[in-house]
Each structure stands twice: as structure tokens, then as C-alpha cells.
Amino acid sequence: TACTSAHGDDARPGDDPPVALAPFERLLPAPVSAHAEGPGYSFGAGTVIRTGRGPDEEVRRVGELLAEQLRGPSGLPLPVVDGAQGDGIRLRIDEGAQGVGEEGYRLESGPTGVTLTARTPAGLFHAGQTLRQLVPVAGPGTVPGGTVTDRPRFAYRGAMVDIARHHFSVDQVKRYVDQLAQYKVNTLHLHLTDDQGWRLAIDSWPRLAEYGGGSEVGGGPGGHWTKDEYRELVAYAGQRYVDVVPEIDMPGHVNAALASYAELNCDGKAPERYTGVKVGFSSLCVSKERTYEFIDEVLGELAELTPGRYLHIGGDEAHATPAADYAAFMDRAQAVVGRYGKTVVAWHQLAAARPVRGAVLQYWGHDKTAAADKAAVAAAAKAGHPLILSPADRLYLDMKYDPATKPGLAWAGYVPVRRAYSWNPGAYLAGVPESAVLGVEAPLWTETVATRGDWELMAFPRVLGLAELGWSPAAALDWTSYSRRLAAQAPRLEAQGIAFFRAPDVPWQ
């Protein structure tokens, strides 16, 4: 191959040398099928994006966004026009399209253009993201001839950010949405509240954000989002087919709320705000009716801001809440979510209480989690509760890669890129069939992450592994193939200014 050197000290025995991959072999996440065939399409100054016959506003928007995404790297004007006939990049809805499901697509490339076909606008969006990987990183060029047929393995492909331990701006989170959506991640879970800060304005309880938002780990100023800012993020994510799942963590992880309102405390006294990193010391007052008025009003306002179907109510590490109180509290909290027409998501500790019908459980255990805890989660899955898998020793983006990683924790061990990728979500928990797995999610907890640089260092490149585990067929999962394709993404990540970690287990060129 052309690249034989530059492998250097990072090479480990057994690693393959870098190989040059053709565009269809480079796709990440790996598609269901991709075949190169015949001459490709050279796009240039005359290329237009065609968004179909009828005036379909949503397809038009997908086309506009794709144009925007391709204009930057290519430097071309890429006007978006109505109409299906003619050369160029054509976006086409075909409700009868075979083999593509709700979110998948077909991409066909030949001398007259590239046709993207899907049943839904979401499918067209994902097709566009595949097309982005087939064009040169910079400048006009050729899309090779061939066909991609593709659809996701799991419906839920998520990333979480904790904006409670450290406050982050809406702009930073939007940036992450763009970074994720290009790899077909379709859910952003926002951990909005914790002991160290309450980050979303709630009209009926204004001190939550005004006072409870004014702290963060390490004593910095904290901050919060207004409802308009939150709506703006939800809309921005929605245009990229990313659903926002908001989390209000309860009954533990609530010191910021308790500090904001004395009446929420059993003893009627508000604690100080908290800027440390301990977990498991705070609890809502389960025996007070005021507590239930509080969660009703908070979840009601949150439901009103949420077009998606899920509300996440936390439920983890409630060590300061006795088990019986925990179960009684979670019964009522789940009922509130149901009353607002939403589906409950909670951390898997809810399995030990009484999850309501349809409640989704998010598993965050790891190899050393007690067998009894795993069995409780498997039993819940058997009883019909869909699972989101976020194994801490695989997908926790706040775990250090290795001892030299500056930010991060290591309570679940080190998580090198290879370990984050090399497991099968469909056969991960004993007794849990693939059909019970709704999907996968990579959480980024931010006790040790305070800057964009540290955020990107921890998330990239590991979150690309999450994207592939969530999307690609089981048969495509293979470290040798993946690590080469990941290495081939480096110029794209660089072009986007992403501060990724040049992990030693990846054969970067």
C-alpha cells in the first residue's frame, strides 16, 4: 500500500499495518451492504441537490441541511432545487422501499448522479451522512459508482451528557449533536440535574435554576438554560433526527433542588449548595406531599418541552433513600410520567422496585456487577421492559483510556478504544435476548470534564464505536475492520476541529 511508515511507536505486536481503504470500505458505521460498481459521479460547480417531485417541506429541509454540510468541505455552491429529474444528488421518498426499514436508505451512485431513497426523511438524512463519507474531505471530486443498502440494528442509538456536574452551553451541546448525527446516533440524553447543579429553568419553581444552577463541581459559577434555549436545542437536534431525552434525576442526586427550596427537605432546612464529587447522599423527602406537587410540576413543564416519547427519571444511587421509600416514590414518579403521556426511562436500579408497564431500563453495570443485580435486570427484560445498554466498563466515556489519561475516572477500570468496541449488545447480558435490547448509549459524566477539549478527548474516538454497535449488523462487528475504518476517519475529525485522542490501539495513518 501507499502507507507503510508512520505507524511508529504506537504499533503493538499483532496490529496490522495501515491499509488504504476504498470509499465504500471505509464507511463508519459499517452498512448492511455496500458494493462498488461502474463509474462514479463527479460533482462540481454544476451539481444541484434535487428534493423530489411534490413540494415536501421536510425533504426540502433534509436537502438544505445536506447542502450546507457538503458546501463546507467541497467549496461548491450546491443549490437545492425541487423536482426529481436530472443530474445531481437526488433525494427520493419511496414508502415501499425494500430492506431499509424506518430509518434506513439506499444510495445509488453512477455517472449521472447519486440517488438517495428512503421511506422516511430520517432515512434520507442518514443516507446523506453516508454520502458525506464518500466525498473527499476537502474539495470537489468523485463519488465512486455503486450501491449501499442500509438500516440500523437498534432503534435507540444514544449519547448522554451530564451538564449538571459542569455547566455547558447550548452551543457546545449543538456541536456534539452535529458530531454524533453524522455517525447516525439518533438520541441525546441530557442529564439536567444533580447534586451539584440544576440546569433547566422551571417556571413554577424558579429558584431551581436561579439558585440551584449557580454551582458546579470545583466551585465554578455553573449556569442554566432558559426554556427558549432548551427548545432551540431540541429543534436543532430534531432537524438532525436526534431525539432529546431529558433526565431529572430523583429521588437521589437532588442536593441542588434541596438547597433551592427549604420546603423540599424533611426537616424544612435547606442544605448548602454542593461542589464536590461524592454521590448518594441526598434524597427527596418521600413522606411529604409537597414533594409530589414538586415532581408533578417539574415533570409537567418538562413534558411540555419534549416532543419525544421518553422522560428519564434517574433512580440511580439513591443510597440515602430506604428501599421501601424508594419503591413507593418511584411508583408515584412513574405515574406522573404516564399522566403526561410519556414513557418512563430510568437507570436499572428501578428493576429492584416496581417498574411500570413499558418502562425502559438503562443498564450501567459492568463485568464485576453482582450476579443478582444482573439477574434482576434480565428478569425485568423478560417481563417486557426494553433495555438500553450502557455498560460502564465499555461505554462510559468518562472512564480513562489508560492511566495516562488526564481527565476521567477509573472506578469501572480503564476503557481503551478496543474494549469500548469489542462486545456484542445483542448477547451481552445472560438471559437477555437481542429482541429485549432497545439499543445502546454512551454517557459522558462530567465530574472531571470541564472544557470542550476534555469532552472531545474522552468522547472521541470512543463514541464512534458506540455508533457502530448501535447501527451495524452483528456480522459486521470486527475490530480489525473497525480500527482501520476508524483510522480513516481521522482526516474528517481533524477537518471538523474535533480534539480526539490518538489512541495507541488504533492504526492511525
- Pattern 372-401, ligand TNX, x by CB under 6 A: ------------------------x-x---
CB of 491 to ligand TNX, least distance (A): 32
Nearest residue (CB) to ligand TNX, 336 versus 392? 392
Helices (H), 75-188: 121-134, 170-181
Q: How far is the CB of 190 from ligand TNX (least distance, A)?
A: 14
Total residues in contact with ligand TNX, by rule CB under 6 A: 10
Give the dihedral sign, CA 50/468/457/412.
positive
Choice between 112 and 451, CB closer to ligand TNX = 451
Q: What is the C-alpha to C-alpha distance for residues 132 and 148, in angstroms, rounded to an integer?
A: 13
Can 297 be counted among the known catalytic residues?
A: no
Query: Closer CB to ligand TNX, residue 271 or residue 300?
Result: 271
* Share of the chain residues as helix, strand and coil, in percent rounded to the nearest 5: 35, 20, 45
Residue of 317, 434, 441, 468 marked catalytic: 317
Q: Residue 200 or 477: which CB sits closer to ligand TNX?
A: 200
State how beta strands 113-118 and 105-110 pair: antiparallel
Q: How many residues comprise the chain? A: 509
Q: Which of 216, 316, 441, 505 binds ligand TNX (CB under 6 A)?
A: 316
Cα of first residue to Cα of last residue in the chain, in angstroms, is: 12
Distance CA 120, CA 58 (A): 10
Based on the shown chain and the rule CB under 6 A, indicate whether residue 279 belongs to the binding site for ligand TNX: yes
Convert 279-308 to b/e letters by CB count within 10 Å (16 or more is b): eeebbbbbeeeebbebbbebbebbbeebeb
Of 178, 317, 325, 402, the one binding ligand TNX (CB under 6 A) is 317
- Give 93 or 245: the residue with its C-beta nearer to ligand TNX: 245
Identity (one letter) of the amino acid at 172?
Q
Task: Estimate the crossing angle of helix 462-471 against helix 479-495, to 10 degrees.
Answer: 120
Which of 24, 211, 274, 445 forms a contact with ligand TNX (CB under 6 A)?
445
Cβ-defined contacts of 212-216 (< 8 Å, 24+): 212/256, 212/257, 212/259, 212/260, 212/273, 213/167, 213/256, 214/273, 215/256, 215/273, 215/274, 215/275, 216/164, 216/165, 216/166, 216/167, 216/275
CB of 412 to ligand TNX, least distance (A): 7
Query: What is the nearest approach in angstroms of ligand TNX to the Cβ of residue 392?
Result: 7
**Mask: binding to ligand TNX, 330-349, rule CB under 6 A, as x and -?**
-----------------x--
Cβ 209 to ligand TNX shortest distance, Å: 20
Choose, by CB under 6 A, the member of 409, 476, 490, 499 that binds ligand TNX.
409
497 φ, ψ (degrees, to nearest 5): 70, 25
Q: How far apart are CA 347 and CA 253, in angstroms?
A: 13
Q: Write out the three cell numbers for 411.
A: 472506578
- In the bound state with ligand TNX, the residue whose beta carbon lies nearer, of 282 and 483, is 282
- Which of 156, 188, 203 has the alpha carbon at shortest distance from 302? 203
> Residue 294 or 347: which CB sits closer to ligand TNX?
347
C-alpha cell at 481: 475492520
Cβ closest to ligand TNX, residue 442 vs residue 467: 442
Least gap, CB of 449 to ligand TNX (angstroms):
10
Least distance CB 409 / ligand TNX (angstroms): 5
CB 447, min distance to ligand TNX, A: 6
| C-alpha to C-alpha distances, 214 to 4, 31, 201, 209, 278, nearest whole angstrom | 53, 45, 12, 7, 18
Active site residues: 317
Residues that bind ligand TNX (CB under 6 A): 279, 316-317, 347, 364, 396, 398, 409, 445, 447
